[in-house]
Structure 1
């Protein structure tokens, strides 16, 4: 009975990534490699943030500066032999959609930024015995974006790609649906053509961050499953530092983060009958204090997700909704004299749907 709950953990956890730390929009989970038999899934969702602030000088409002976005992902898993399985995952791990409304009197009114990414991950898993397995893979990322800051500064990052790897291991006790997996994702180096106002076109180097991801689940009672994860991402090593911007701002980066981000998730799933399962989970990123960047004005977050899953024969349909409370923060609009933006009582709402087929 407990084993039937194993798949219920995928109750559109994509919705919990609303406004995650840094630019992250996907937790890059390898959960698909643990699906039984041959399997394919497609998922999509929508996230609607509400992020507003107030300028310290004059009290001008920022307006809602964070745009909606719609994550889409596809995965395919196949058994090669009794002991070897492979999977392909297509997703969008990073993104950003910033637009400070015009006409507000806010210092950054009219500033926009757009970041897009696509990733293809190939994973192979070897089952050593009933309890232990190891896996490794290769990930290719494509990233592009553009920034326009009030006052005439622009930066266009042409699409380019980089390649990294992942390695991990898992321990399982199938009789009680217990599984614990630890995955390391490498940093990925990018060198891409950019066009910067006042400078021209040149190659700019940056890297997307490495991470560790611990995921666990276990049956704790008849038809009841406890699950959770801890994800650490090395955002303090990320910096986008265009030449012209750095020269004009004392070597500062256009986009960087002071701290790494650790995300904790804990939830419980319950099988109601042969067709229906439900789950509820909570997610938390702690606040670090200090000033936040103007392209992501929140410090920490706490989210709640409610999901349901319907299974009929070899098809499963999962859906979920998420509400995330975004941590209050201040941003720097001008250094001397110091003018700040105060962002409080902000939130994001997300919803997602996933369709899975065993074949």
Structure 2
């Protein structure tokens, strides 16, 4: 005899798991781009608030020489992860028993980090100490070049550049001194000019997805769905401190840009056992955003070919993704769920034009130069959950999750390699149609080394964690 789990008996349990679920650590992933609101029965609407507080700290590298990639444990960085919050909204309605429409809003991608304290991710004002550190002792006390201070190095550079400016020529020894001293002076001055400033990054995005679904099959068990996606993104980055070598003092502002992509998927449902399964694809979205960059050391590093400030356009492609959502009734009061997400972060790069041009001018990084942000691996995420109706209007839920991260070493602006998580949630039906859900999740972040685009290791981040809290208000009429 077949067991039938009427969906109404499980309705109080459905959606308790998504309050604080699929919130990510890999790459710039945040919301998980959840679409499960569209699969709810009848007319449905939800508003979800999520708050994330992470503790990400470690040690900088005591090796400040830009051309030496060896990591040497240095000073504590303090907590670099900024707490942040975001909203998600969804509305869905059935036109008839075949067609459904929906609108979803979320904030899919983002980053928020800032270094504070006395680590070498914060610009300092001691020019003699800075130039000694970045030169590996070649400039400073007991200098093999005979240059013992920043002032002496700057005076030498000014004198040699003056000879060239007046049409003179340099001896091989003078040219060697200029080649060695000029970058060190430029880096040190850029550090001094931004003294007290912190390294920080802020990325924000918004997305609106319109969905049209069509059910088919003998019992309308199958559904295809899709629609356009509008996405807006902006970013600010400031690199400070000797950790960034020639790039210390670099600042970029990517203005807000809106562009479009699409979503498509297929779903299957079997209401008698509360089974729903959906496979959803989101396309890449290409942005051409106006950007302003400031790179104080650029003129000297490029031998005068590049400016210190530049406005232009940056091309950014947010990654495609695939989500698999599954739920099924285990018994008339218990629901099991599974979520799997894949994002190819290994395809993502952020390449500001001036930053890239300076790296090309050095001749050390090939014809393509350096990207400011890139990742080695694709992200995989899995989350499993159970929801149990414990009273006519109350259900509780639990989840366990794993996120692969996007590689280690990774960018110093987000030094985490995935996480493991556990979560708890509850949903209370205030009336027949209105419900309130609350949930929380604890995360153990994977250890990671922070790495510059040059390959230099500048930080080691271990034993970090965080938590997520969420609140949802939902309405459903069947």
User: TM-score, with normalisation over the residues of structure 1?
Assistant: 0.94
The alignment covers a number of residue pairs equal to 357
| C-alpha spacing 1:352/1:238, structure 2 compared with 1 (3 Å) | same
Q: Tell me the C-alpha RMSD between the 2 structures.
A: 1.9
- Residue deviations 1:39-68 (CA, integer Å, cap 9, x gap): 221110211010001124262111111101
2: CA distance between counterparts of 1:309 and 1:105? 44
Partner residue, 1:245: 355
Corresponding residue to 1:116 among 204, 207, 210 = 204
Within-5 A mapping of 1:29-108: 29-57=34-62, 59-101=74-116, 103-108=117-122
Compared with structure 1, are the counterparts of its residues 137 and 26 closer, same or farther at alpha carbon in structure 2 (3 Å cutoff)?
same
Residue 263 to residue 189, structure 1, CA distance change in 2 (3 Å)? same
- Deviations 1:286-311 (CA, angstroms, capped at 9, x unpaired): 36653111111011211111000001
Q: Deviations over 1:203-254 (max 9, x none)?
A: 1111100011111111112311111011101111111101221233331111
Q: What is the alpha-carbon distance in structure 2 between the residues aligned to residue 121 and residue 133 of structure 1? A: 17
1:204 is aligned, of 306, 314, 319, to: 314
Q: Which has the higher helix share?
A: 2
**1:358 paired to 2:476:** yes
Question: Residue 32 and residue 271 in structure 1: after superposition, are their counterparts in 2 closer, same or farther (change >3 A)?
Answer: same
Query: What is the correspondence of 1:1-359 to structure 2 with a 5 Å cutoff?
Result: 1-3=5-7, 4-6=9-11, 8-11=13-16, 13-57=18-62, 59-101=74-116, 103-108=117-122, 110-128=198-216, 129-150=219-240, 151-197=248-294, 198-249=308-359, 250=365, 251-286=369-404, 290-311=408-429, 312-332=431-451, 339-359=457-477
Residues 14/195 of structure 1: CA separation in 2 closer, same or farther (3 Å cut): farther
Gaps of 5+ in 2: 63-72, 124-197, 241-247, 295-307, 360-364
- The whole-number CA distance in structure 2 between the counterparts of 1:9 and 1:15 is 14
Give the Cα separation in 2 of the matches to 1:108 and 1:235: 28
CA distance in 2, matches of 1:37, 1:287: 37
1:19 and 1:49 in contact (8 A); partners too: no
Q: Is the 8 A contact 2:371 2:453 kept in 1?
A: no
Query: Is the CA contact 1:66–1:99 (under 8 Å) kept in the aligned structure 2?
Result: yes
Tell me whether 225-234 or 284-293 shows the greater mean CA deviation. 284-293
Q: 1:201 Cα deviation (Å)?
A: 1.1
Give yes or no for contact 2:12–2:427 (8 Å, CA) kept in 1.
Answer: no
State TM-score, norm by structure 2: 0.71
CA drift of 1:342 comes to 1.0
2:24–2:31 Cα contact (<8 Å) kept: no
Q: Distance in 1 between matches of 2:453 and 2:214?
A: 54
Return 5+ residue gaps in structure 1 as ranges: none
CA–CA distance in structure 2, aligned partners of residues 239 and 142 of structure 1: 17
CA shift for structure 1 position 273: 1.9
Q: CA deviation at 1:256?
A: 1.4
> C-alpha distance in 1, partners of 2:316/2:341?
22
Contact preservation (8 Å) 1:24, 1:93:
yes
State the shift of 1:329 in Å.
1.0
